[in-house]
């Protein structure tokens, strides 16, 4: 497996309409190392305080922080190994966070990219994080793009993994995943194997089912399994997850370095989206990695290498 870096120049700027639609087929402060901290919703109805893991390579980190955002139905746990590797290789602290309605972070009925961006901006302010690199996969990728366009001073650069700054008409399996998760929860199952069997008609691929089932918890030994994520809230947010809050690159633009990583077997970032990426992010670089949508887990070494090379070149 290898990555193919390509610098995309602003010459694409005149090639696209401002509003781009595409069809996408989804595959569906110093702390102790590895320390986890959970927060609860405060007085604000919109901005939530986020849970996170902190990785510092045994106290050896000295550089600017990295903040790592997961995708839909994921959590900070998905990025634990990669966060540790980046902290080690780059000597930079890594904060892997749980976005709202995911992992150990609070739940809220509003789930869109503006709300996700506001939560993460609040996280940066709370922890006084400067010169940050924002890394996000899928839903997390659109979140870091939103943050960069809302306030270019919030970060030094971004890395967007397998998503593009477009409104996308989704043809996906995600509604089926949601229906299967609902049925699992309503059945009040006690056994993980039973949950896997019930979910199988809705998520045929075993890796996808295993990913979804990481959200199953048992509140106490005598309680049935339940999903720690608010399934109904996220089901209602699927259209918002396909959306993107910015449509005019002449009004908002991020003129700092940006790396876009896409899986060669994924349909999230098509060649047709590259011109609009170039208009919003004129200094962007593109790296293709031999993988599907789940780039970080499918090709971790190629992803690690791409990120390290990009960030070391910016030092």
Pair (178, 88) in one structural domain: no
What are the helix (H) ranges across 41-166?
Answer: 80-90, 113-126, 139-150
Pair (137, 88) in one structural domain: yes
Task: Tell me if residue 299 is catalytic.
Answer: no
Pair (289, 268) in one structural domain: yes
The whole-angstrom separation of Cα 148 and Cα 165 is 11
**Hey, which residues does 170 pair with through a beta bridge?**
24
Pair (62, 183) in one structural domain: no
Q: Is 23 helix (H, G, I), strand (E, B) or coil?
A: strand
Catalytic residue among 20, 293, 297, 299: 293
- pLDDT of the chain, 315 residues: tens digit per residue: 334 444 433 333 333 333 333 333 333 333 333 333 333 333 344 899 999 999 999 999 999 999 999 999 999 999 999 999 999 999 999 999 999 999 999 999 999 999 999 999 999 999 999 999 999 999 999 999 999 999 999 999 999 999 999 987 554 678 889 999 999 999 999 999 999 999 999 999 898 899 999 999 998 999 999 999 999 999 999 999 999 999 999 999 999 999 999 999 998 999 999 999 999 999 999 999 999 999 999 999 999 999 999 999 977
Pair (159, 232) in one structural domain: no
Domain of 283, in residue numbers: 3-171+243-314
In this prediction the pTM is 0.85
Residue finishing a domain among 236, 267, 285: 236
Total number of domains constituting the chain: 2
Catalytic residue among 138, 266, 297, 299: 138
Pair (18, 167) in one structural domain: yes
CATH, residue 66: 3.40.50.1820
Task: Tell me if residue 108 is catalytic.
Answer: no
Q: What pLDDT does residue 172 have?
A: 65
Pair (49, 188) in one structural domain: no
Pair (24, 71) in one structural domain: yes
Please list, residue by residue across 255-278, b when 16 or more beta carbons sit within 10 angstroms of its beta carbon and e when fewer do. Answer: ebbbbbbbbeebbbbeeebbbbbb
Cα 57 to Cα 52, 85, 94, 95, 176: the distances in Å are 16, 9, 9, 12, 40
The whole-angstrom separation of Cα 236 and Cα 174 is 11
């Amino acid at each position: 497996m290898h990555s193919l870096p390509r610098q995309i120049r602003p010459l694409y700027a005149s090639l696209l309409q401002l509003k781009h639609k595409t069809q996408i087929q989804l595959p569906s402060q110093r702390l102790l190392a590895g320390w986890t901290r959970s927060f609860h919703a405060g007085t604000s109805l919109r901005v939530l305080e986020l849970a996170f893991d902190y990785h510092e390579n045994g106290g050896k980190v000295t550089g600017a922080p990295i903040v790592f955002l997961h995708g839909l139905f994921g959590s900070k746990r998905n990025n634990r190994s990669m966060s540790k590797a980046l902290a080690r290789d780059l000597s930079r602290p890594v904060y892997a966070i749980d976005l709202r309605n995911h992992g150990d972070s609070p739940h809220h009925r509003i789930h869109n990219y503006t709300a996700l961006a506001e939560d993460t901006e609040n996280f940066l302010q709370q922890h006084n994080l400067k010169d940050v690199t924002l890394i996000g996969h899928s839903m997390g990728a659109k979140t870091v793009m939103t943050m960069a366009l809302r306030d270019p001073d919030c970060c030094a650069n971004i890395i967007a993994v397998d998503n593009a700054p477009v409104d996308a008409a989704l043809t996906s399996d995600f509604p089926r995943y949601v229906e299967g998760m609902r049925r699992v929860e309503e059945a009040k199952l006690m056994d993980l194997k039973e949950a896997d069997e019930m979910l199988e008609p809705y998520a045929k691929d075993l890796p996808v089912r295993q990913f979804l089932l990481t959200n199953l918890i048992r509140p106490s030994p005598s309680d049935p399994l339940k999903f720690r994520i608010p399934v109904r809230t996220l089901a209602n947010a699927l259209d918002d997850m396909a959306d993107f809050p910015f449509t005019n690159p002449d009004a908002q633009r991020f003129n700092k370095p940006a790396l876009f990583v896409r899986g060669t077997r994924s349909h999230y970032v098509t060649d047709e989206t590259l011109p609009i990426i170039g208009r919003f992010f004129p200094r962007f670089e593109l790296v293709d990695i031999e993988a599907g949508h789940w780039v970080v887990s499918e090709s971790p070494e190629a992803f690690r290498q791409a990120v390290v090379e990009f960030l070391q070149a910016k030092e």
